[in-house]
Amino acid sequence: MSRRLGQHARLRPDRMEEYKRLHAEVWPGVLSAIKACGLENYSIYLKGDELFAYFEYTGTDFEADMLRMAQDPATQRWWTHTHPCFLQADEQEFYTDMEELFHLD
């Protein structure tokens, strides 16, 4: 059974174009890590400076898989480019989890 997750974040206005450019051509190693860690149907939406991310987790140990992703060298390099784009770049949390209120299969 998959677990659906929604997340929210805000971009720095001066880094929005850079963030969009990076996501127009996500590195193959990052895409492989995302899939290897059980994330599917991953989407990121932008409105103004606000980001909404949606994905489904299909693994069995979310915390362990997220730790594995955080330790992946390609993902770590990717984050050196993406993290400065976030408004809260000086904090540890870039995306905030959202509460699911409704879902229809």
C-alpha–C-alpha distance, residues 4 and 15, integer Å? 28
Q: Is 23 a catalytic residue?
A: yes
Active-site residue, from 23, 81, 83, 103 = 23
| Sign of the dihedral defined by the CA atoms of residues 76, 78, 81, 84, in that order | negative
In angstroms, what is the C-alpha Rg of the chain? 14
Active site amino acids: 23
